[in-house]
Amino acid sequence: MWINGVARDARNDEVIERETPAAKGVVTIAPRGTAEDAEDAIAAAEAQFLSGEWAESYGGDKAKILAGVAACIRRDAEELAYLETLETGKPLKASLGEVEGSADLWEYASGLAPTLHGDSYSNLGPDRMGMILRQPIGVVSIITPWNFPLLIASERIPFALAAGCSTVVKPSEFTSATTLRLGEYLKECGLPDGACNIVSGHGHDIGQVMIEHPSVRMVSFTGSPRVGKIVMHAAAETTKKLSLELGGKSPSVVFADCDMEAAIDGVLKGSNFNAGQCCIAGSRLIVEDKIADQFLEKLIVRAQDLKVGDPFDPQTAIGAIVNEAQFDQIDRYVSAARDSGASILMGGEGDTSNGLFYQPTIIANAPSDSPIAQEEIFGPVLSVFRFKTIQEAIKLANSTNFGLAAYIWTNDLNTALSCGRRIEGGRVWVNAALQGIPEMPLGGYRGSGIGRETGRFGVDEYCEMKSLQINHMPQAERWVTTG
Ligand code: NAD
C-alpha cells in the first residue's frame, strides 16, 4: 500500500489472495489494510493538504506529474493489462483498451491543472471588487469497484489531484493490483508524499473510516447502489460532500430506420462488453415493433458467434464473471425470469467447470415491472421490450429507477434529438455504444448517482468556490451611526 509516499504492508501483516475467476489459482496478493492503516493514510493526506505543498503548487508543475503518470501507464501497458485480466478475467484485448483509456485520462486531467481558474468582478461600484476563487476541497476518499479497476481510478484520482486535493484511495478487494501500481508511478513522477495514499482491503474493514473521518471533506464512491446508500448514511454524520456513481439499467432504443447491422453490433457490445459487468451496460433492448422479429432473429445469430472463455485467447469476446457471488446473482435473475414465464431466447446457462463463465443471454416477454426489467444484473443478460411510438419508447427508456446511460439507434435526426433530450441519463449515445472519452463527463440521474466525473466538470467536483469581496476605498457610510 502507499501511505505518505512509502510502500508498506498492512499493520497486522494480513493479506488478500486473489484467485483468478477465469481458471483456478492465486494470481495476486495484496495487503489487507486495517482501519488504523486508513487512519494513517488520512493523517498523511491531511498533513500534505495543510502544508500547501501540493494544493498550492503551480498548475503547470501539477500537469507535468500527472502527464508523467500517463507516460508510465503507456510504458507498462502490457503488464498492466495482464494484471487486469488475471484479476478480473476480462479478455486481454479489452484490458489493453482500458489501460490505453486510463493513460488518456491522466493526460487529459494534466491539461486541466493549469487551466483551473475562478472569476472576477470589477463592475461592483467604484470602491468594491469581487473575486471568485476555485479552491481544492481538501482530503478526498476515493472508493472504487472491480469492473474497470484502472479506468475508474483514472477517472477520479488525476482530476482530484489536478484540483489540488489530497487523496486516500481504496480499490476493490478483488482488483487491487493496477491501482497500487499508480502509487509507484506517482512516486516515480515526483508527487509530494501524502498527496495520494492507496490502501488496499475490504470495504467493511476500512470503508467506514474513509467515509466518517472528520478530516475527510469529500467521498467519491463508485460501486453498487446498495453500498452507495450505506455511504450516504455514513457521510451524513459529518455532512460531507458526496460524489456517487452507482448502477444502471441502460436502454438501447432501436428505431426501424436505423442501420440494422450497426445497431445489432452495438446492442451486442452494449450488453456483453466486460461480460455485462459494466455500469453503463445496455441491458434493455427497446426495439420498434415493426422490425422487432427480424432484428431479434439476426441478433441471436450474431450473438451465437460470441466466444465465451479463456481471456488470453484473442478470439474471446466474453471473459469470466468476477466472483461466485456475482455469478450466483446472474443465475438467480435468469432463473426467476424463467420461472415467471419469460422466454429465454438464447443462453441462460453458466459453466463453472474451470472458472466462472456465463453464456450471452437474451430474454423476452418479461413484464416491464419485473426484476429482470428493473434491476441491475451485472451479467451478459439482455431483456427485450417492444414499442410502437416514439413516446412509448421514451417512456419505456425512463421506466426504471436508474438513469446512467442510453443508446439510441436511428438515422433520423429528429428522432435522435427528441430521444437524446428526453431520455434521462448522464451519457446518451446516438449510433454508438460504450465509447468513453475524457472530454465527456459521466454520472447518473436518479438512483444512478450524484455528481459528474471526467471532462472539465470532473475537476469542479473536487473544488469549493469562494466569493472574496474587497472594499478598496475608505467607506463613507456606516451601518452603525453614532450620535
Ligand atoms: P460494491 O459496492 O460492492 O463495492 C465498491 C467498493 O466499495 C469496493 O471498493 C468495496 O470494497 C467498497 N465497499 C464495500 N462495502 C463498503 C462499505 N460498507 N463502506 C465503504 N466501502 C465499501 O460494488 P462492486 O461490486 O465492486 O461494483 C459493482 C457495482 O459498481 C455495480 O452496481 C456497478 O453498476 C457499479 N459501478 C458504477 C459505475 C459508475 O460509474 N456509475 C462504474 C462502475 C461500477
Which residues partner with 343 through β-bridges?
Answer: 364
Say yes or no to pLDDT of 474 above 90.
Answer: no
How far is ligand 1, taken at its centre, from the CA of residue 322, in Å?
Answer: 13
pTM score of the predicted model? 0.96
**Atom 31 of ligand 1, nearest CA residue:** 224
Segment 63-75, tens digit of pLDDT: 999 999 999 999 9
One-letter amino acid at 200 equals S
Segment 110-138, tens digit of pLDDT: 999 999 999 999 999 989 999 999 999 99
User: What pLDDT is recorded for position 97?
Assistant: 97
> If you ran DSSP here, which 8-state letter would residue 333 be given?
H
What cell does 260 get? 440494422
Contact 426, 403 (CB under 8 A): yes
Contact 179, 482 (CB under 8 A): no
User: What pLDDT is recorded for position 477?
Assistant: 78
Pocket test for ligand 1, best of 279, 402, 448, 453 (most atoms within 8 A of CB): 279
Regarding whether 106 and 36 lie in a shared domain, the answer is yes
> Average pLDDT, stretch 73-93?
97
What are the φ and ψ backbone dihedral angles of 158, each rounded to 5 degrees?
A: -65, -25
Q: What is the DSSP string of 433-458?
A: -S---TTS-B--SGGGEES-BSTTHH
Regarding whether 143 and 26 lie in a shared domain, the answer is yes
Regarding whether 418 and 324 lie in a shared domain, the answer is yes
User: What pLDDT is recorded for position 166?
Assistant: 98
Q: What is the DSSP string of 230-248?
A: HHHHHHHTTT-EEEEE---
Say yes or no to pLDDT of 478 above 90.
Answer: no
Regarding whether 260 and 199 lie in a shared domain, the answer is no
> Average pLDDT, stretch 172-191?
98
Q: Is residue 437 part of a domain?
A: no
User: What pLDDT is recorded for position 181?
Assistant: 98
User: What pLDDT is recorded for position 187?
Assistant: 98
Q: Is residue 104 part of a domain?
A: yes
Q: pLDDT category, 82, cuts 50, 70, 90?
A: very high
Q: Give the contacts of 311 (CB within 8 A, at least 6 positions apart).
A: 22, 85, 89, 90, 91, 92, 95, 319, 320
> Average pLDDT, stretch 338-361?
95
Q: Is residue 298 part of a domain?
A: yes
User: What pLDDT is recorded for position 483?
Assistant: 67
Q: What are the CA-CA distances from residue 278 to residues 88, 147, 335, 405 (Å)?
A: 12, 7, 21, 11
Q: Is residue 197 part of a domain?
A: yes
Regarding whether 73 and 23 lie in a shared domain, the answer is yes
- The whole-angstrom separation of Cα 32 and Cα 147 is 20
Segment 282-336, tens digit of pLDDT: 999 999 999 999 999 999 999 999 999 999 999 999 999 999 999 999 999 999 9
Q: Is residue 441 part of a domain?
A: no
User: What pLDDT is recorded for position 86?
Assistant: 97
Q: pLDDT category, 32, cuts 50, 70, 90?
A: very high
What cell does 323 get? 466472483
Segment 50-63, tens digit of pLDDT: 999 999 999 999 99
Contact 122, 82 (CB under 8 A): no
User: Which residues are the active-site residues?
Assistant: 245, 279
**Atom 19 of ligand 1, nearest CA residue:** 207
Say yes or no to pLDDT of 279 above 90.
Answer: yes
Would you tell me how many other CB atoms lie within 10 Å of the CB of residue 134? 17
Q: pLDDT category, 44, cuts 50, 70, 90?
A: very high
Q: Is residue 440 part of a domain?
A: no
- Of the chain, the percentage scoring pLDDT greater than 90 comes to 95
Regarding whether 122 and 256 lie in a shared domain, the answer is no
- The whole-angstrom separation of Cα 183 and Cα 3 is 9
**Atom 16 of ligand 1, nearest CA residue:** 203
**CB-based burial of residue 184 (10 Å sphere; 0-12 exposed, 13-18 middle, 19+ buried)?**
middle
User: What pLDDT is recorded for position 180?
Assistant: 98
Regarding whether 402 and 358 lie in a shared domain, the answer is yes
How many independent structural domains does the chain possess?
Answer: 2
* Extended beta strands in 278-335, E state: 284-288
Regarding whether 64 and 185 lie in a shared domain, the answer is yes
Say yes or no to pLDDT of 380 above 90.
Answer: yes
Query: Half-sphere exposure of 481 toward its Cβ, with a 13 Å CA cutoff?
Result: 3
Regarding whether 179 and 274 lie in a shared domain, the answer is no
Q: Vertex 287, ends 282 and 293: CA angle to 5°? A: 120
Per-chain mean pLDDT for the chain: 96
Regarding whether 167 and 305 lie in a shared domain, the answer is no
Say yes or no to pLDDT of 269 above 80.
Answer: yes
Regarding whether 263 and 215 lie in a shared domain, the answer is no
Residue 266, domain CATH: 3.40.309.10
**Atom 32 of ligand 1, nearest CA residue:** 224
User: What pLDDT is recorded for position 475?
Assistant: 77
Give the chain's radius of gyration (CA, Å): 24
Regarding whether 71 and 172 lie in a shared domain, the answer is yes
Q: Is residue 436 part of a domain?
A: no
Segment 209-230, tens digit of pLDDT: 999 999 999 999 999 999 999 9
Q: Which residues line ligand 1 (CB under 6 A)?
A: 143-147, 152, 170, 172-173, 202-204, 207-208, 211, 222-224, 227, 230-231, 245-248, 279, 376, 378, 404, 444, 449
Pocket test for ligand 1, best of 168, 211, 221, 224 (most atoms within 8 A of CB): 224
Q: What are the CA-CA distances from residue 387 to residues 337, 342, 361, 373 (Å)?
A: 21, 18, 21, 15
Domain residues for 300?
Answer: 251-430
**CB-based burial of residue 58 (10 Å sphere; 0-12 exposed, 13-18 middle, 19+ buried)?**
exposed
